[in-house]
Structure 1
Amino acid sequence: MGSEFDCCSSEGVILGVDGGATSTVCVCMPLLPFSDHRHFPDPLPILARAVAGCSNYNSVGENAARETLEQVMAEALSKAGLNHSVVRAVCLGISGVNHPTDQEMFLNWIRHIFPGHVKIHVENDAVAALASGTMGKLHGCVLIAGTGCIAYGFRDDGREARAAGAGPVLGDWGSGYGIAAQGLTAIVRAHDGRGPETMLTNCVLETLHLSSPDEIIGWTYADSSWARIAALVPEVVSCAEAGDQIANDILNNAVQELGMSVKAVVQRLQLAGEDGNGSFPVVMVGGVLEANKIWDIGKEVINSILKTYPGASPIRPKVEPAIGAALFAWNSLMKEAKANGRR
């Protein structure tokens, strides 16, 4: 993965980590010799990239989350032919980091790995996702809808706000898990006679290689993984596209939930100004928001947001959230350098 920027690694590198409920990605980037994010090289120089499993400690426990983070960072540095001594800054964007105590816990885990001068940032994974659309600048709102979902917003003055992101038990119904869980519930209801028949029954049974809706109960509780349930979203979408009303209602409900989450954040931070017509970026990230043949959840969410906030500017990031995390760390280093009177 060499490039003309490899020489910069001698001056230091930055690690960006995106830790979600399904996987954790770490990228290693050279310390870019630019002071303005508008002048980033295209494509951005990536020295190495590594992938590991889930690092949300709420899902897998503290020990497993810590081991995953240490593993993925060590692997990225190893692939780049480097060691921890050349790292200048690290940004961990981790799902499940929702409180200062969470940040402190991760800092305590990671601090012993790197020299004391290394700048370490621990943020919710929404920070990495937003930064992937704004090239490291924290301003605007990001909507993540993958296995889980969250809306997170930032103002230039440092204020921030969030909506949703509390996990499936507390009602993240716009998430992949929420969509699929409602689909499974509809199948059980139809089988019981408590709800209307739905194409979801045959579609999901075929996908899971099950012979009866009764077997869905055992399949569901055999493994508590949120990602395992969320993997059934394509079945809900395909049934909606084929005209199934139940599946269509589930997707419409997801659109409503996701739109409300963004609007709640925008309103609390007044990102659109007092009149509601100001411009601000809305970064859209996650598999649920990707376009399908007919049912485009992301497009419908954008339309919902624009009806309330016409100045919203939807952004589909060109780089992945792990790179966004690295750019956030780079921006933080540049701000500190400017504050100290040097470039």
Structure 2
Amino acid sequence: MSPTPPAPAWLLIEGGGSHTWVSNARGETILTTAEGPSTNPRSVGEDRAAHTLIDLINRAGRSPNAAPMGVIAAHGAASTRRAAEDFAALIHRTLANSDETPVPVLVTNDLTPLLLSARGPVCVTNCGTGTGFAARNGDRWARVSGLEWLLSDEGSGHDLAVRGLRAVIRALDGRGPNTTLTGLARLWCADTSRTSGDLGADLFTHVYRTESTKAHVASFAQQVLEAAEDGDQVACRLVQDAASELAAGAAAACRATAISTGTKYTLVLSGSLLTEATLLRGHFLDWVHDHLPPASLATHSSESRPSDMLRLRDLWLTTDALVPLREAMPTHSETAPTAAAAVHA
């Protein structure tokens, strides 16, 4: 007598500019998880994104002979509706070795679960490798920025790093003031296989090397923050400018959803540059408390991912609940399973 195949589980995927989290879930129980680098094609390229996603799904223990109950993806790759559809196609390709049963897929932006994490009006400000802003107030939803590093992402880790590296080159050229970022940049690129003693040339090699990614460049943001903490005037100005960009994004999302002074809303901070005690976080919160004080402040952490993603799944299974979300957030969905069927998954 052949063994009974395991019951199908939900495949949950959450990712941004530097990380991806994959899990299998049945009901309210997280069965297995796997974590790895970014699977955003615009950060790492289509081939690397696909390879990493396949690896993470396999490491999370998906049965190779059974299709999942459904796939829920909250991902930074969903910058537009078309991009969300493209990421859904990428997911389907990674599941190509399962049976022919169509797998229901929901792909939405990675800020969507955070908008569901608090009751009442909520504003989300994310600053990690990239930036993103979103707000919800009743049936009004809005999203600001989030169109990747060439069109947006002002104030992000990548933006702050690039501005810091440009300040180094300007100092080397004599086009800008001296800065302690120069010494920090020398240490940052010291793991390059060959160093020439010419910092400009070494930075060129380090930044444009074949395996370099958006997340790798963004890592220099930590050096900019370090220099600012130590009082370097160039770095201080860069951090203040970044905080102003975050303030502009949060203010725009709040205006779009009628969150104003006096509204009892929750401000949710996410991304490493805002969830950690950085100078950037301090400048941003100073602006918030002066101009748009929240009723409560929440800091998003990786521990909340399972509950966030299960909450998003349950929303998908609620008739018409995605209508206001789809209008504001880049979302692509394909035939959600019925809520009754999901109870048994």
TM-score, normalised to structure 1's length?
0.78
| 1:20 match | 16
Do the aligned residues in 1 keep the contact of 2:12 with 2:24 (CA within 8 Å)? yes
1:163-174 mapped onto 2 (5 Å cutoff): 163-174=144-155
Note if 1:308 corresponds to 2:291. yes
Partner of 1:141: 123
What is the alpha-carbon distance in structure 2 between the residues aligned to residue 67 and residue 178 of structure 1? 27
**Correspondence list, 1:319-334, <5 A:** 319-320=302-303, 322-323=305-306, 324-333=308-317
Q: Does the CA contact (< 8 Å) of 1:128 and 1:321 recur in 2?
A: no
Indicate how the Cα distance of structure 1 residues 168 and 267 shifts in structure 2: closer, same or farther if over 3 A, else same.
same
Contact 1:174 1:255 in 2 (8 A): yes
- Asked if residue 238 in structure 1 is aligned to residue 226 in structure 2, the reply is yes
Letter in 2 for 1:286: G
Correspondence for 2:215:
227
Distance 1:288 1:277, change over 3 A: same
Change (3 A) 1:214 1:320: same
User: Does the 8 Å contact 1:21/1:227 carry over to 2?
Assistant: yes
2:199 to 210, 213, 226: 213
1:134-283 aligned at under 5 Å gives the runs: 134=118, 140-157=122-139, 159-209=140-190, 211-215=197-201, 216-223=203-210, 224-272=212-260, 276-283=261-268
The match for 1:49 among 27, 33, 42 is 33
Q: Distance in 2 between matches of 1:63 and 1:221?
A: 18
For the 8 Å contact 2:121–2:266, the answer to whether it is kept is: yes
Distance 2:148 2:298 in 1: 25
Distance in 1, matches of 2:338 and 2:282, equals 40
Identical positions, percent: 25
- Stretches of structure 2 that go unaligned for 5 or more consecutive residues are 1-5, 322-336
| Corresponding position of 1:65 | 49
- Displacement of 1:251 in angstroms is 0.8
Residues 192 and 109 of structure 1: CA distance in aligned 2, closer, same or farther (over 3 Å): closer
**TM, length-normalised to structure 2:** 0.78
In structure 1, C-alpha distance between the alignment counterparts of 2:214 and 2:70, rounded to whole Å: 31
Asked whether the equivalents of residues 89 and 329 of structure 1 are also in contact (C-alpha less than 8 Å), the reply is no
Residue from 77, 95, 100 that aligns with 1:96: 77
Tell me the matched-pair count: 310
1:198, 1:244 within 8 Å by CA — same for their partners in 2?
Answer: yes
Task: Tell whether the 8 Å contact from 1:291 to 1:297 is kept in structure 2 after alignment.
Answer: no
- 1:321 is displaced (CA, Å) by 6.5
1:5-16 to structure 2, matched below 5 A, reads 13-16=9-12
> For the aligned residues, what is the CA RMSD?
3.2
Distance 1:138 1:106 in 2: 30
User: Tell me, what secondary structure is at the counterpart of 2:238?
Assistant: helix
Q: Do the aligned partners of 1:14 and 1:330 also contact (CA within 8 Å) in 2?
A: no
**How far apart, CA to CA, are the structure 2 residues paired with 1:187 and 1:298?**
24
Cα distance change on mapping 1:317 and 1:48 into 2, 3 Å? same
Question: Does the 8 A contact of 1:91 with 1:329 survive in 2?
Answer: yes
Aligned to 1:299: 282
Does structure 1 retain, via aligned residues, the 8 Å contact 2:121–2:264? no
Q: Deviation digits for residues 101-141 of structure 1, max 9, x if unmatched?
A: 2222333444574775854210012224444x44xx79622
